[in-house]
Structure 1
Amino acid sequence: MKGRPLIVWTVGWLAGASLAYTFSGLHLYLVWTGVTLLLVIPVLLQRTLLRTMLILWLALTMSGIYWTWNDARNVTELPQALAVDGTLLHGSMLQVEGVIVTQVDVDGDRADMQVRLQQVKMMDSAGSGGASPVSRSLGERVMVQVKLLAKDQQTEAAKWQRGDRIKLSGMIEYPSTARNFGGFDYAAFLRTQHIHWIYKVNGIRNAEVSPGSPWGPLTVLRWNDRLRTVLGDKIEQIFQEPHAGYMKGLLIGMKDDIDPETYSQFSQLGLTHILAISGMHVAVYVGSLLFMLSLFKVSRERSLLVVMLLIPLYVLLSGVSPSVVRAGIMSIIGLYAARKGWLKDGLNVLAAAALLMTLWNPYYLLNVSFQLSFLVTAGLMIYIPLMNPLLRFLPKRIAAAAGVTLVAQLVSFPLTIYYFNQFSLLSFTANFALVPLITLFTLPFGAGALILGLIWLKAGKMAGWLIELQNDVIFKLIRFMNGYPQFVMIWKSPSLIWIIAYFILLYLLLYLAGKLMGDRKTRLPIQREADETAELDGIRKVTSGKKLTLAANRTRAAFVGIMLGFIFLLYWEYRPASYYGAGLVQFLDVGQGDGILITTPEGRNILVDGGGTVSFRRPQDAWKERKKPFEVGAKVVVPLLKQRGVHHLDAVIVTHADQDHAGGLQAVLEQIPVKAFMFNGTLSGTKAFEKLMKTALGRNIPVYAVHQGMKLQPDKHTEMMFIAPESEAVEQEEVPIVKDQNHISVAFLLTMNGARLLFTGDMDKAAEENILSLADSRQAGAVQGVSGAGAFVLPEGGIDVLKIAHHGSKSSSGDSWLDYWRPKAAVISAGVNNLYGHPHAEVMQRIEDQGSELYRTDRSGEVQMLIRPGGIQIRCMLNPTGE
C-alpha cells in the first residue's frame, strides 16, 4: 500500500462507515478505541508504517463521524411539523401536496411513486382538512401507493410523470419491519433512501395531478424516463416474449418485465449479473463508441473526450444502479487519465469511485449491487495476477477468460451465499461459456437491432429474429444445466469474520500455489539428462541446493496447511446449524397462515405447513394481478430456510389442503430437496393443491397419508405421535376429495428432549371432541385402530406448548380441549389486521383462563423455542409476548 495513499484512505473510510453502521453510542467508542490500539501495533513493529497507519486511522475516524452525522439527520420531520406524536401519526388521514420525484410504476391495481412533500395537513374524521396546512417546504420523501379501483385508472395513472405536482388524500403508515429473524426489513430498506412513511391512497379520485415546471432539477430525469419508455416499447415491438423482457433488462436495465421463470433460471446459475447493467455493459458501450469514432478518423484525444461526455448519458439511460455508476465513474477517470497520459492504476481509480459514491450517499455501502460490483472489480485486480501463473498450461486466450471467470466466481462467492444462500457448482461453466457469448454477440447486436428498429422497424425485427435464435440456444443451455439440482448447494449466511478469513486464506493459497509452480519451473533445467546439466547441477549442489530444497519444502508445507485450513473453513460454514443437543421449533410469521420449522437435536428438519397467499380475485379482475405477485412461500419461507442452512427437509407435513397452509409449499418443493411428503390423505379439489401433489410425485418424493396412531421418530430424542385425522380415508383405494379440510387436519404431539408440544392445524371443535372421546376409554386399555395402525391410546394431558388451531378462530380450541391438555404456553399464528378478525376474543379469554402464556405472530412476529432437556427458552422477533 506504500505509495497508494488513496487506496489506504478508502479502505479506512469504508471500514469506519461499516463500524459506525454496526455499532453506536458507547459500543462504537469502545470499538474505535480498540481499533486505534490495534493500529499502533504495526507501527511499534516497523516505524515505516507510521504514515500508512495514520492515514488509515484518520480515514476511519472521519468516516465514522461522517456516517454518524448523516445517520442522525436521517429522521422524519412530519411528527414535528404536525405537532403530533409519531405513534399517533401512524394510521392517520392526511392531505398532502408535493412533487413526484420518481418514475410512476403502474403494476396491476397499484401505482407506486415517491413524492417530495411540500404541504401537509391532518384530516378530521369526516375526511376534510381539520388543521391548517404546514406550508413550509418539508423536503421529505414518502412512498406513495395508489390503489387503482378500475382498469381505466391504469391508463390515467400511467400518464403521471416525474416532476408533476400532485395533491393526495390518504392514510399514512410506518413501513413494515422484519417479522422473522433474518427476514427482509422494508423499513430499513426505505430508510436508506431517506423514506420513513408509506402513504396509501384509495383510488385516483383522491389524487389531483397537474404538470410541473417545464424546467427544473427533475426535467432531465423526466426526459430520461420518456426515452427509456420509448426504447422499452420499441424493444417489445422488435422481440417476442420472453425475449423482449430479457433484452430490456440486458440493453437498458429494465428488469421488471423479465419473465420470472427466465430470471429464476439465470439466478440459479449465478448469471443475474448479466441482467444488471454493470462494468461489462459500460465496457462494451465505451469500446463500441471508440471504435465508431475511429472509423470517422476522429483523433484519439477528441475521441476520449467525446466518450467521457457520453458516459453519463448511458448511466442515466440504464437506470443509475450502483454498479453502473461505479463503472461510469471508473471509466471517466480512466479515460481522463489516458487522455492526459498519466500512469493508470486500476485500484486507485476504483478507490476514487468508491470514495466519491459514499461521500455522495453513505448508504451506498449497504447496497448489494454496490458491494458486489466493487468487490468483484477489486478482486479481479488483486487476484488475477496470482491466478494467471496457475493457468499457463492453457492457450493464452482461454487462460485469460478462464482466469477472469474463476476469480470472479471465487471473489463473489462469500457475498453470494451471504445474500442469496445458494451456489451452483455449474456456475463457473455457465459463466465461462455464456458470458462471452452474450457480451460479444447478444449485447452489441441487440443494441444494433434496437437502433435499426428505431430507423426502420421491419429491419429491426429481422435482426431481432436472429438474436432470438441465439437467445433460444442460451435459454436451452441454461435449462439443461438447471436440470441437475444436485449441483445447487444451499449455504447459511456467513459471519463477517468468516468472510474476512475466506479472502485472506484465498490470497495465501493462490500466492503459495504460484510460488510452488515458480520454484518447479526454476528447477526444470536441472532435471534434464546428466550430461546436459552436469556443470549446472554441480553448482546447484555446492551453492544453494540445500537452501532451495528447504525453502521449497517450507512453501509446500505452508501450501498444504493453508489448503487444509481453507477446506475446513468451507466445511465449517456449510455444515448444518448445530444447537448442541437442543431442538428448535420456529413458528414463522407467514401472515394469515401456518409455517413451522422443527429442527431436532440431531439436526433433522421437518416443515409443518408453508403458509400461502390467499386470493379472492374473480376472473374479471385479472387486470389487478401484478407482474410478480407476492407469494409467501417464495418470498418468505424458502429464503428463511436457505438462510438458516437447511440443505434438505427430512419431511414436509401439510396439515390440510387449504391455501393458507399448503400454498407456500409449492415453492418449497421446487427449491428445497424433500425426503418425505405427508398429508391428511385427501384432496381439496383445487388446482393449486393438485399441482402441489403432482410436483411431489414428479420429483419422486415419497408421499404418505397420515392417520391417527402413526408414529414418527426422527431421532432418538424426538418422537411424533399423530392423533388426527381418523383413518377412514386411508382405507379407500382412491384419494377422496373433501371440501371441508379443517375437520380432517393433521394433528400430532411432538416430544423432544422431554418437552411436549401439540400441533393442531386448523382442526375444529368437532374434531377436538372426537379425539377427546378416546380419553374416556383409556382405562379400558386402548381403542382398536384400523388395520396396520395398532392400538391407539390418546396421550395424557399436560403439555408445554399448544399451537392454537385455526389461527384462534372461535370454531376451535373449546374449553374441554384446553382443559384436557392444560398448556403452559400457547402460540397463535395469525396475520396482522387479517380479514377474519383472528384471533377471536372468546378464544383469547379461554387461553387466559387456563393461565397459559400466549404468543401471537401478528404481534410478536416469529416465535422461536429452543428446547433443551432442562426446559424451553423462548424468544420473539418483536415484543416478547405481544402484549
Structure 2
Amino acid sequence: YVGYTRSSHWRGRSGASGEVFLKGRVEVGNRGEPGDEAFLFRVCEVLEGKMARSGDCYLLKPGRREDALPAWGDTLEVRGNLYLFDRVSGRVGGSLVAGETRVLAHTGNPLLRLAHFFRDTLRRQVANGLEPDTAGLIEGMLLGDYRHLSSRDLVALRATGLIHLCAASGLHVGILLAFIMWLGAKLNLSRRMLIVIQTPLLITYALAVGLTVPVQRAAVVALLAALAFYSGRDFDFLPALGVAAIYLVFKDPSVAREVSFQLSFAAALGVALLHRPLSGLLKAGKSKALSLLAATLAAQLAVGPLLMRHFGEASLTAPLSNLLVLPLVPLMMALSLLSALVGMAGVGLGAVLLKPAALLARCILLIARNLAGVRWAALRFFPFPATWMAIYYPVLAAAFLATGRRRRLARLILAALLAAGLIFGCLINAMPLGGRSGVEMTFLDVGQGDAMLLRGPSGQNVLVDGGIDEATLTAKLRSRRVEYLDAVIVSHSDSDHVGGLTGTLYACGVGLLVHPDIGSDGLMGKLLGLAGEMGVTVRSMRAGDRLELGDVSLTALGPPAQVPADADSNEYSLVLRAMGPGFSLLLPGDVEEEGQRMLAGCADKLDCDILKVPHHGGYSESGDAFFAMISPRIGVISVGDDNPYGHPSEETIASLQACGCTVYRTDQHGDIVIRVAEGGYEVECGR
C-alpha cells in the first residue's frame, strides 16, 4: 500500500522520515483511480514511532481489483515508513509507504459491512472471470462504478442514451425490488414478509453503490411505498417524489445544483406525467414493447434539454437503443445479483452464473457501439440557452394538458408557446456561431487538473491537457462548439493532465497529438495507442522544436533533448511558448524547482503576457525568480475547489502579485476566457 497523509494532524521535522506503527479504522472505501482501489484509514493510536500523533491517511492499493480490501469499520495495524514533505502549503503533509497491514478486528455497522462484502465479492468475480469490457459494464450497471469501462464504450453509451444504465438509479432499485418480489413469490412469502426482508436489502444496496442522489431518491420513494402498503394506506408516487426532493435538499441545499439531482427528478417526473398520454398516443394497450417505448420517450422528453444544457448533446437513438436494451437489463442484473449472493455464501457457482450475464452485457455493448456509429445518433447544440429551457418546459406542460380536459385553452397556449419558441430559435440561429472573432484562450474549469483551449484567428483549435475526467472535458468542449481539434498537446503523463483526453479522441476529430515522449506507460500509453489505432498523427516535442498552426506558433522550451531515465514527469514537462497576433502565452506544465531552474537558461524567451501558473499554484522555492523572468500581466491557476493539496499556496499568489500580475483561479472564477483586444486583453469569467 502507498498513501498520503493530511498535514494538519501529522507532526515531525520537515523532510524527515522514519518507521511508524499505526492503529486505526477504515472509514471510507472505493476512492481509487481506474485500476486501483483505496480507502481512508483514520489513525487513532501510534504504537511505535515519534513522528506522528493522529490524523487521516488515504491508503492506495494499486492494480488488482480481485484482491479484497479491508471492510468499512475494520480495525487495522499498519507498519510503514512515513515521509514528511519538505514544504507543506496545504492539507497534505507527507506520504506513507505501508509494508505490513493486518486486520485486528471486524467492527462497525453490520449493514455497512454487508454492503462492502457484496460489492467486494462482485468485483472479485467479474475481475477474475470476465473480459474487461463486459466486466466494466456489469460493475457499472450493478454498482454504479463505470471507472473500468473503456472510453470507447462510455462515448457509445452516452451517444445512444444508455449511460443511465451505469449510474445507479431508480431503474436499478426497481429491478432489485422486482427481483426480490419474484424470489418471494417463488418461496410463497407473504407481501408483508417481503417488505420486512426488502427494506434492509434495499438499504444495503444503496450503501453498496455509494448513496448517489438517484439511488437516495429511489430508496426514499420505495421505503414510503413499503410503509404505505404495510400500514394499509394508498400510495401516490408524486407526493413521495416530493418528499424525496425535500429530504435531499434539506440534508444538503447545494444538491439542487448537481446534474444528477436534476436529471434524476426530471426523468422520474417525465415518466410519471407523460407515460400515460404517450401510451395513448402510441395506442400501446397491452403491448409491453410500446409501453416501454412510451416510458423511454417520456424520460427523454423530460431530460433532453438538461442533457443539451450540461453536456451539449441529446441522443436521437435513445428510444430505439433503450427499446432494444432494457429488456436485457433485468435478467442481466438478476444473474449478477445471484452470482454475488452465491459468492457471498461461499458457493463456487457464482462465476458460472456470471457467464450468461456477461453474454447479455456483450449484447448491450454491441447495440450501443453500432447505434453510436450512426451519423445522426446524437443532436448537438452549443450551447443550449437557459431561455430555451424556459420555453421548452411550458410547451411540454401545455402539451400534457392538451391531452386532458380544457383542451382548447391548452392548445391555444401550446400554439403560442411554439410560435414564440420558433421565433426565438430563428433569432438565435441567425447569430454568429463562433462568437467573437480573433484569438481566444479558455482555461477550462475541470477541477484539480489542467485543460486549456486555444482558438487562433483562423479558427484553429488547440487543446493543451485534458484534466482528469473524460465526461467533464467532453462537456466543456461541446459547450464551446468544438467538434474538431487541430492539435491536442499533452504536457506530461500525470492523470490530472491526461486523464480526460482519451474520450476526446472519440468525441471530437483530432488532427495531431503532441507529447514530450516521457512516461509513455499507463494513461499516456493508452492515449498514444488509441491515437495510433484511430489514425491520429502523433509526434513528440523537445526544447527547440516548433509547431506552426496557421497564425499561431508554438515553440518548445522544455524538456531538454537528453532526459534521464528516471526523470520526474513534472520537472520534465513539455513547456510551450505560444505566439500569435497580439498575444504571448507561456504553458509550463507542472515544472517545479528543478524544471524552473532549467528554464532559466532561456530566460530571454520566457517573457510573456499570459502565464498558466505551473503545478496548480503550488509552492516552489524558485517561484519568485521564475515569475520575475516571465513578468506576466495575467496569471491563471487551474485548481480544484477545496483540493486536499492546499493549492494554490499563498506564497505563489504573493509572488505573482509582486510582479504586477493579475491572478485568476478556476476554482473561484470558473472557466476563464482571455481574448485579444485592442491594446490588451479582455477577460471573461464563468462566475
Find the counterpart in structure 2 of residue 380 from structure 1: 271
Secondary structure of residue in 2 paired with 1:586: strand
1:685 and 1:738 in contact (8 A); partners too: no
Compared with structure 1, are the counterparts of its residues 800 and 857 closer, same or farther at alpha carbon in structure 2 (3 Å cutoff)?
Answer: farther
Residue by residue over 1:432-490, the C-alpha shift from the partner in whole angstroms, topping out at 9 and shown as x without a partner, is: 22112323x32234434555667796755554433433333322221111113553344
Find the counterpart in structure 1 of residue 394 from structure 2: 504
Compared with structure 1, are the counterparts of its residues 663 and 257 closer, same or farther at alpha carbon in structure 2 (3 Å cutoff)?
Answer: closer
Compared with structure 1, are the counterparts of its residues 663 and 209 closer, same or farther at alpha carbon in structure 2 (3 Å cutoff)?
Answer: closer
Compared with structure 1, are the counterparts of its residues 685 and 162 closer, same or farther at alpha carbon in structure 2 (3 Å cutoff)?
Answer: closer
Residue by residue over 1:784-809, the C-alpha shift from the partner in whole angstroms, topping out at 9 and shown as x without a partner, is: xxxxxxxxxxxxx9974322476677
Query: How far apart in 1 are the matches of 2:513 and 2:126?
Result: 47
Compared with structure 1, are the counterparts of its residues 306 and 487 closer, same or farther at alpha carbon in structure 2 (3 Å cutoff)?
Answer: closer
Secondary structure of residue in 1 paired with 2:182: helix
Greater CA drift, 324-333 or 292-301: 292-301
Query: How far apart in 1 are the matches of 2:441 and 2:288?
Result: 53
Structural RMSD (CA):
5.5
Is the aligned partner of 1:325 residue 2:161?
Answer: no
- Residue 381 of structure 1: CA displacement? 1.7
- Name the amino acid aligned to 1:425: L
Secondary structure of residue in 2 paired with 1:404: helix
- Name the amino acid aligned to 1:867: V
Find the counterpart in structure 1 of residue 644 from structure 2: none
- Name the amino acid aligned to 1:742: A
Compared with structure 1, are the counterparts of its residues 638 and 290 closer, same or farther at alpha carbon in structure 2 (3 Å cutoff)?
Answer: closer
Q: What are the equivalent positions in structure 2 for 1:524-673 lying under 5 Å apart? A: 558-567=413-422, 579=435, 584-587=440-443, 595-598=452-455, 605-611=459-465, 634=470, 637-642=473-478, 644-649=479-484, 652-653=486-487, 667-673=503-509
Is the aligned partner of 1:473 residue 2:363?
Answer: yes
1:147 and 1:200 in contact (8 A); partners too: no
Query: How far apart in 2 are the matches of 1:469 and 1:220?
Result: 31
Q: Which has the higher helix share?
A: 1
- Residue 210 of structure 1: CA displacement? 6.1
Find the counterpart in structure 1 of residue 585 from structure 2: 803
Find the counterpart in structure 1 of residue 156 from structure 2: 265
Compared with structure 1, are the counterparts of its residues 260 and 347 closer, same or farther at alpha carbon in structure 2 (3 Å cutoff)?
Answer: same
Compared with structure 1, are the counterparts of its residues 609 and 662 closer, same or farther at alpha carbon in structure 2 (3 Å cutoff)?
Answer: farther
Query: How far apart in 1 are the matches of 2:145 and 2:286?
Result: 38
Find the counterpart in structure 2 of residue 416 from structure 1: 307
- Residue 333 of structure 1: CA displacement? 1.5
Find the counterpart in structure 1 of residue 228 from structure 2: 337
2:26 and 2:70 in contact (8 A); partners too: no
2:66 and 2:127 in contact (8 A); partners too: no
Query: How far apart in 1 are the matches of 2:539 and 2:16?
Result: 44
- Residue 389 of structure 1: CA displacement? 3.6
- Name the amino acid aligned to 1:873: E
Query: How far apart in 2 are the matches of 1:329 and 1:448?
Result: 24
- Residue 204 of structure 1: CA displacement? 1.2
Residue by residue over 1:61-91, the C-alpha shift from the partner in whole angstroms, topping out at 9 and shown as x without a partner, is: xxxxxxxxxxxxxxxx997x99x9xxxx999
Secondary structure of residue in 2 paired with 1:203: strand
Structure 1 runs not aligned, ≥5 long:
1-76, 121-126, 135-140, 177-195, 520-550, 613-630, 704-736, 751-757, 768-796, 879-883
Find the counterpart in structure 2 of residue 68 from structure 1: none
Compared with structure 1, are the counterparts of its residues 865 and 234 closer, same or farther at alpha carbon in structure 2 (3 Å cutoff)?
Answer: closer
Q: Which has the higher strand share?
A: 2
Find the counterpart in structure 2 of residue 743 from structure 1: 544
Tell me how many residue pairs correspond in the alignment: 618
- Name the amino acid aligned to 2:96: N
1:266 and 1:478 in contact (8 A); partners too: yes
Query: How far apart in 2 are the matches of 1:248 and 1:109?
Result: 13
2:635 to 855, 858, 878: 855
Secondary structure of residue in 2 paired with 1:761: strand
- Residue 749 of structure 1: CA displacement? 8.2
Query: How far apart in 2 are the matches of 1:208 and 1:247?
Result: 30
Query: How far apart in 1 are the matches of 2:134 and 2:34?
Result: 22
Compared with structure 1, are the counterparts of its residues 313 and 490 closer, same or farther at alpha carbon in structure 2 (3 Å cutoff)?
Answer: same
- Residue 595 of structure 1: CA displacement? 4.1
Find the counterpart in structure 1 of residue 38 from structure 2: 112
Compared with structure 1, are the counterparts of its residues 215 and 386 closer, same or farther at alpha carbon in structure 2 (3 Å cutoff)?
Answer: same
Find the counterpart in structure 1 of residue 566 from structure 2: none
- Residue 559 of structure 1: CA displacement? 3.2
TM-score by length of 1: 0.57
Secondary structure of residue in 1 paired with 2:314: strand
Structure 2 runs not aligned, ≥5 long:
1-5, 562-578, 590-595, 639-651, 653-662, 667-671
Is the aligned partner of 1:761 residue 2:617?
Answer: no
2:310 and 2:475 in contact (8 A); partners too: no
Compared with structure 1, are the counterparts of its residues 580 and 565 closer, same or farther at alpha carbon in structure 2 (3 Å cutoff)?
Answer: farther
Residue by residue over 1:700-740, the C-alpha shift from the partner in whole angstroms, topping out at 9 and shown as x without a partner, is: xxx8xxxxxxxxxxxxxxxxxxxxxxxxxxxxxxxxx9976
1:638 and 1:671 in contact (8 A); partners too: yes
Query: How far apart in 2 are the matches of 1:299 and 1:611?
Result: 58
Query: How far apart in 2 are the matches of 1:592 and 1:346?
Result: 42
Is the aligned partner of 1:447 residue 2:337?
Answer: yes
Compared with structure 1, are the counterparts of its residues 302 and 571 closer, same or farther at alpha carbon in structure 2 (3 Å cutoff)?
Answer: farther
- The percentage of aligned residue pairs carrying the same residue is 16
Compared with structure 1, are the counterparts of its residues 742 and 688 closer, same or farther at alpha carbon in structure 2 (3 Å cutoff)?
Answer: farther
Find the counterpart in structure 2 of residue 24 from structure 1: none
- Name the amino acid aligned to 2:614: A
Compared with structure 1, are the counterparts of its residues 288 and 667 closer, same or farther at alpha carbon in structure 2 (3 Å cutoff)?
Answer: closer
1:657 and 1:741 in contact (8 A); partners too: no
Find the counterpart in structure 2 of residue 285 from structure 1: 176
Find the counterpart in structure 2 of residue 825 from structure 1: 609
1:282 and 1:327 in contact (8 A); partners too: yes
Residue by residue over 1:239-270, the C-alpha shift from the partner in whole angstroms, topping out at 9 and shown as x without a partner, is: 45433333233345454444554344323322
Residue by residue over 1:822-847, the C-alpha shift from the partner in whole angstroms, topping out at 9 and shown as x without a partner, is: x8824356334799x89887764444
- Name the amino acid aligned to 1:466: P
1:760 and 1:804 in contact (8 A); partners too: no
Compared with structure 1, are the counterparts of its residues 98 and 696 closer, same or farther at alpha carbon in structure 2 (3 Å cutoff)?
Answer: closer
2:115 and 2:208 in contact (8 A); partners too: yes
Find the counterpart in structure 2 of residue 430 from structure 1: 321
Compared with structure 1, are the counterparts of its residues 579 and 345 closer, same or farther at alpha carbon in structure 2 (3 Å cutoff)?
Answer: same
Compared with structure 1, are the counterparts of its residues 159 and 411 closer, same or farther at alpha carbon in structure 2 (3 Å cutoff)?
Answer: same
Secondary structure of residue in 1 paired with 2:673: strand
Query: How far apart in 2 are the matches of 1:437 and 1:646?
Result: 35
Compared with structure 1, are the counterparts of its residues 294 and 588 closer, same or farther at alpha carbon in structure 2 (3 Å cutoff)?
Answer: closer
Compared with structure 1, are the counterparts of its residues 341 and 854 closer, same or farther at alpha carbon in structure 2 (3 Å cutoff)?
Answer: closer
Secondary structure of residue in 2 paired with 1:562: helix
1:246 to 116, 137, 150: 137
1:609 and 1:665 in contact (8 A); partners too: no
1:763 and 1:812 in contact (8 A); partners too: no
Compared with structure 1, are the counterparts of its residues 172 and 589 closer, same or farther at alpha carbon in structure 2 (3 Å cutoff)?
Answer: farther
Compared with structure 1, are the counterparts of its residues 459 and 198 closer, same or farther at alpha carbon in structure 2 (3 Å cutoff)?
Answer: same
Query: How far apart in 1 are the matches of 2:366 and 2:359?
Result: 11
Find the counterpart in structure 2 of residue 145 from structure 1: 58
- Name the amino acid aligned to 1:333: L
TM-score by length of 2: 0.70
Higher relative contact order (CA 8 A, sep 6+): 2
1:173 and 1:197 in contact (8 A); partners too: no
- Name the amino acid aligned to 2:281: L
Compared with structure 1, are the counterparts of its residues 745 and 262 closer, same or farther at alpha carbon in structure 2 (3 Å cutoff)?
Answer: same
- Name the amino acid aligned to 2:583: V
- Residue 745 of structure 1: CA displacement? 0.9
Query: How far apart in 2 are the matches of 1:563 and 1:645?
Result: 27
Find the counterpart in structure 2 of residue 221 from structure 1: 112
